[in-house]
Every structure is written in structure tokens, then in C-alpha cells.
Amino acid sequence: MKSEQSLEGLTPNATLSQILSVYQKAGGLLESIGLNVSEHKQQTLSSVCRQKKWSEDEVLEWLKEKQDSRNNISERENGSREDFGDNLSEWSSYVEEAYHSPTFQLIQDIDERFPRIKKVHGNQYPWIKKMEHSVTHFLQDFRLYLKFESKKFFPLIRKFDNNKGKVLDGTVRELKRSHKIIANDQQRLRNKMDAVREKGNGFKNPEHACTTLRILNHQFKQLDTMLAEQFEIEQQHILPLVQQKFKTV
């Protein structure tokens, strides 16, 4: 299979067809922020952005960033769902690789983009200011949740798995405690995500929204989906399997 080329050498003077030939997923990304790609394929990105009153540089930079991070994908993007049976170590490694890395990046991107939107459009769109508190606390708590999994919960799972028959009581107690924290935090984070969505106008773009706001809303939708997928895997596989392990000690 021919390897995908890089957008790095392209400028806003490239046509959408040229951009798509280099990065096929660019079409879906542009559609997600409100552009009907099929109607503008032969036009340059610069021309399209001028018509939309978007920032051509910001759009192109965003596409380049997305292409650079294309290997950090979740199962929804490659169309398959992994199945590791009752192998807890494999499940935890999969969640870290497929979800933690891209989710951390999304949190960072939103953290950087939201203050710019509030500064420029906070008065124009009052709901932006109203959602600030919810956004700040949700991002902070979700980041802590992911760090807790990677630094505490998943290492305990691997330690438990790799020392069958020789698990110390202290390890079991720590794993039970971590299991409870994860289970409780999931509903709390779902509620916080719901609050961000509700206060954030459902992540819908106003008719003449700028590029930054459109990209931000796309990122919020991505984060919402990533959270739902990760929690589903953990609720259907990781948490029940850990619970089963407790019965063996």
C-alpha cells in the first residue's frame, strides 16, 4: 500500500483536491467544521476560507496537526474493536495506547484554544463564559483520572496478573481501592461532560462562527466520544475482570 504523503509542504494555495490526495481524512475534518468539500474540490483552501471568513493558516495548521497525530487513533477510526478476552494486562495496554495518548492531546488542545475563544467571543456568545467553570474542572478531573489509571490502576493490574498465586494482601487492597475509585469517577466525569455539553450550546456552531470556535467544538465532540468509548471498554471488560480476580485470592 502506498504510504500517505505529508501536508507539510503545502500552503493555503493548494486546492482541496491536492490536500485530499495527500491526506484523505482532511475531507471529513473539513466537513466537521462546516465545509461541503464536494462543492469546493477545485478551489484553493485560501479561496474557500476567504468565502467563509475563516483563517486559512489556522485551518491548514490544524489539518497538519491531525495528520501528525494520525497514529494515535481510537477503535472508531479504524472500524474495529479489539478483543483480548480475559487478559487484563492486554486490555489496560490497549486503553493506554488507543485512548490515553490522543485524549491527553485533546485536553491540551482544548486547554489552549478555549481561553482564546473566551477572550475574542465571550461577549458575542455569552454561553462561552457560562461554560468556562465546567470546562476547567472537567478537563482537570479527566486529566487526573487518566493519570491515576496510568500511574496507579493499570500498574496494579499488571502486578496482579504477573504474580499469580503470590499476590500480597497490600496489593489486593490497593487494587480494590483503585477499582472503586475508577468506578465512582466514571459517573462523575460523565456528569461533568454532560454539563460542558449543555452549557456549551450542544457544541453547535453559530452560523458565522470563526475557525477557532469550529475547531474547538469539533474537539469537544471528539473528547465526548473518546470518553464514552473508553468508559464502555472499562465497564464491559476491565472492571468486571478485576472483580473476578478478587474472587481468586
pLDDT for the residue 164:
63
> pTM of the entire structure?
0.86
Note whether residue 4 is domain-resident.
yes
Q: What is the pLDDT of residue 72?
A: 45
DSSP string, 151-205: IIIHHHHHHHHHTTT---HHHHHHHHHHHHHHHHHHHHHHHHHHHHHHHTGGGPP
| Residue after which a domain boundary falls, among 50, 70, 90 | 70
State the total domains in the chain: 2
Question: In 3-state terms, what secondary structure has residue 3?
Answer: coil
Q: What is the pLDDT of residue 58?
A: 94
Same domain, 41 and 142: no
> Does 111 share its domain with 225?
yes
Q: Are residues 152 and 201 in the same domain?
A: yes
- Of the residues 70, 98, 128, the one at which a domain ends: 70
Residue 152 lies in a domain: yes
The 3-state DSSP class for residue 44 equals strand
Whether 158 and 41 map to the same domain: the answer is no
φ, ψ at 123 (rounded to 5°): -80, -35
Q: Is residue 76 part of a domain?
A: no
What pLDDT shows up at residue 170?
A: 81
Q: Are residues 208 and 144 in the same domain?
A: yes
Q: Are residues 106 and 148 in the same domain?
A: yes
Domain limit, last residue, from 32, 49, 70: 70
Q: So what's the pLDDT on residue 175?
A: 92
User: What's the confidence (pLDDT) of residue 247?
Assistant: 77
pLDDT at 165: 56
Residues 111 and 59 in one domain: no
Cβ-count burial 223-241 (b if 16+ within 10 Å, e if not): bbebbebbbebbeebbbeb
Same domain for 93 and 62? no
Please report, in tens digits, the pLDDT of each residue of the chain (249 residues total): 344 578 988 999 999 999 999 999 999 999 999 999 999 999 999 999 999 999 999 999 999 988 877 544 444 454 456 788 889 999 999 999 999 999 999 999 999 999 999 999 989 999 999 999 999 999 999 999 999 999 999 999 998 877 765 767 788 899 999 999 999 999 999 999 999 999 999 999 998 899 999 999 999 999 999 999 999 999 999 999 999 888 776
- Reduced to 3 states (helix: H, G, I; strand: E, B; else coil), residue 15 is strand
Residue 75 domain-assigned? no
- Tell whether 105 and 57 lie within a shared domain: no
Amino acid at site 73: I
Query: 90 and 34 in one domain?
Result: no
Contacts of 168 (CB under 8 A, 6+ apart): none
To the nearest 10 degrees (0 to 180), the angle between helices 56-68 and 45-52 is 120
Same domain, 164 and 96: yes
Flag whether 156 is in a domain: yes
Name which of 211, 189, 201, 193 is nearest 129 in CA terms: 201
Q: Residue type at 225?
A: T
Q: Which domain holds residue 36?
A: 1-70
Quote the crossing angle between the two packed helices 126-148 and 169-199, to the nearest 10°. Answer: 170
Q: Is 97 domain-assigned?
A: yes
